[in-house]
Each structure stands twice: as C-alpha cells, then as structure tokens.
Amino acid sequence: MTDHSLFTRAYNLIKAAANTLVVIHANPDGDAIASACLMAEILTLLNKKFSLYCQDQAHAQFDFLPHLEKFTASQERFDFDLIIVLDCGNLKRTGLAQKIANRLPGQQVLEIDHHPKIDDYANLEIRDAAAAATAEILYYFLKANKIKITKNLANCVLTGIMTDTGNFLYPSTSPQTINIASEMLTKGARLPQIMENTWRNKSLASMKAWGKAMSNLEISKKYNFAFTVLRATDMPEDITEEDMEGVSGFLSNLEKTNGLLLLREVPGNKIKGSLRTSRPKVDMARLAQILGGGGHARAAGFTIDGKLEKTASGWRVV
C-alpha cells in the first residue's frame, strides 16, 4: 500500500494551486474517466479553478458521473499552477507530453497511476502497480486526507474499479478491491446505474464486432496462446472505440491458455493490439513495451503502423 504521507503531500499541492489541469490518456477507459471526475469533484469542493483534458472525447455512457461535460480536447493555454496526470503509464498517451515535459519553472506535476512506471517527469508520483485501478488509489487518497466520501465520489471510485476489473472478473481484483467496492455501496454508489451504463449498453455494432472476434479466435499450439484478428472490413461502419471496450478481457476467459492477443485495424493505417493473461508468471507489459506500448503484467496494449494481411502461413503486418 502507498505511503500515506504521499497522499498528504498531494493534497497540499492541490490545495495550494490556484489553477489546475487534470489530464488522462487518449481513448480513455472507465477508470481514467472516473478518476478525473473524482478529482474534479474534489477541486469543486475546494472551490478551485480547474480544467479537464483528454485528447479524445470522453464516452457519453459515463454521463452519470459528475463534471463529465467539462472535458475538453483543446488546451491552448498552459498557465496552470498544477498539472495532475491520472491513470496514464505513458506520458505520450496524454497528447501533451511535450508541454508537460517542458513546463514552465514553478509548474508542479502530480502523477497518480496504477500502471508500471515508464516515464519519470512528475514532481510527485503516487504509483501502486498492485492496485486494481487508479480509482482504488484515489480511494486511499480520500481516506488518508479525511475527505468525506459523498455519493458522487463513491460513484467515481466504484465505476473506476468495476470497469478496470471487468466487474471483478480480472485477476487484478483483490480482497481489498472488494472491500472498497462494498464500502462505496454503503456511501451511496449506484451499482445498477453503473452496470447499466458500463456493461448492459452494448450496441448492435459492438455485438457484431465481438461476434466476429470470437469467430476468428485461434490458438497457437506452440505457445498455447490465443489470438484473434479484426480487419477494418470485419467491423460495422458505425463501430466506435466505446463499442470495443472490454472485448479483450472477455476473450481472455478462454480456459487453459497462456494469454490472448487481439489485433484490430483502426483508422489512420494503424493496428491496435490488446494483450491479456490470467497467468501470474506471464508478463504482457514486457511484450507491449517492445512494441511501443505498455500496461500491466496481465493487461497491456500497443499501437503500430500497418495493415493486417492473411497468408498461407498465418497473419502478417504490411
């Protein structure tokens, strides 16, 4: 567990700043969005001026969280006292890497994350790779600083935890994770609403794409490793990143395999890879880092240039 003195130092930075920027990674998942909304709620309770930034649009499915409408994908001014980077293992994924790395003297950067460390740029870093979600770390931040957990804050914590654990199905779920989730329910978190907005909301396009991913699923006998491929022609025209959220975690439930790789063509002549495993001795993050990505030992990803082509000997990137 993270040293509580770090949480105190972080809260002092937040209280001392007059103008704060909260940043999350591109193609944000539920944990990133919920963590940013939680921080926005804290800043609001402190009557602080702040901005929420994400390179990509935050999904409308999370509109039950506080302050979602305040996200912006444009950040011309950069005169913030404090920059808070949440749930982002690789600074490049913020879209503001150059500005943050070359920030003005006196500008402070606070990083809170549960991914393995890649970049060293923050004035204060709070990292716990054993945590199931960044929202789980923020729960300890709330407790350490004796911040009353309101319904809004409880909804944020529980949403971040549930989305990053696949509703408690992923191996990252610990007894502490379950205990925190239980406490959030007693604090007013709305489990049915969270489930309805994050899980029971699959579109027809997503169902077709998930079905195609399952249909294309194969297992490499040599490595006992499952893989599946989705070319652009395999997916409906109206498919979105939101529709594809969770498919890798779902497919990784395949029994008796060392792991899973999903390769998917995305716009811009690029291929997005998702790696998942439930094996404690398999480290997906190492493979993802070789390919320019990152993540956790059991859940990682990367993006490379090219297209997918099927040959007589298997798939290749061209």
pTM (whole model) above 0.75: yes
DSSP assignments along 222-274, one per residue: TTTEEEEEE-GGGS-TT--HHHHTTHHHHHTT-TT-S-EEEEEEETTTEEEEE
pLDDT at residue number 2: 67
Range of the domain at 210: 204-317
Per the structure, the count of domains in the chain is: 2
Among candidate residues 147, 180, 198, the one where a domain is terminated: 198
- Smallest Cα–Cα separation from 227: which of 166, 273, 278, 271? 273
Would strands 308-311 and 71-72 be described as parallel, antiparallel, or unpaired?
unpaired
Q: Are strands 19-23 and 49-53 parallel, antiparallel or unpaired?
A: parallel
pLDDT at 190: 95
- Rounded-to-integer distance, Cα 303 and Cα 213, Å: 18
- On whether the CB atoms of residues 60 and 6 are closer than 8 A, the answer is no
Contact between 64 and 197 (Cβ < 8 Å): yes
Separation CA 279–CA 276 (nearest Å): 9
| Co-location of 177 and 57 in the same domain | yes
Residues 210 and 180 in one domain: no
Locate all alpha helices (DSSP H) within 115-230, ordered by sequence. 134-144, 151-164, 175-186, 191-198, 204-215
Q: What is the mean pLDDT of each run of 10 residues along the chain (318 residues)?
A: 86 97 93 97 98 90 95 88 94 91 93 89 94 97 98 98 86 91 97 87 80 92 92 85 77 85 93 89 90 84 92 88
Q: Are residues 169 and 23 in the same domain?
A: yes
* 41-46: long-range pairs with CB below 8 Å, 24+: 41/66, 41/67, 41/150, 41/152, 41/153, 41/156, 42/14, 42/147, 42/153, 43/14, 45/147, 46/14, 46/15
Are residues 155 and 90 part of one domain?
yes
Tokens representing residue 6 in the block: 């770090």
Q: Which of 198, 216, 241 marks a domain boundary? A: 198
For residues 311 and 225, membership in a common domain is answered with yes
Are 302 and 253 found together in one domain?
yes
Residue 132 has a pLDDT of: 93
Provide the CB-side half-sphere exposure for 300 (13 A, CA): 26
CATH number of the structural domain spanning residue 123: 3.90.1640.10
pLDDT confidence of residue 54: 96
Both 103 and 243 in a single domain? no
Do 98 and 27 share a structural domain? yes
Copy the structure tokens of residue 54: 């994400």
Same domain, yes or no: 37 and 157: yes
CATH number at residue 297: 3.10.310.30
Given 151, 179, 198, the domain boundary residue is 198
Residue 216 DSSP one-character state: T
In this structure, the answer to whether residues 51 and 105 fall within a common structural domain is yes
Same domain, 104 and 137: yes
Cβ proximity of 260 and 275 under 8 Å:
yes
* Domain match, 130 and 81 both: yes
Per-residue confidence (pLDDT) for residue 51, from 0 to 100? 97
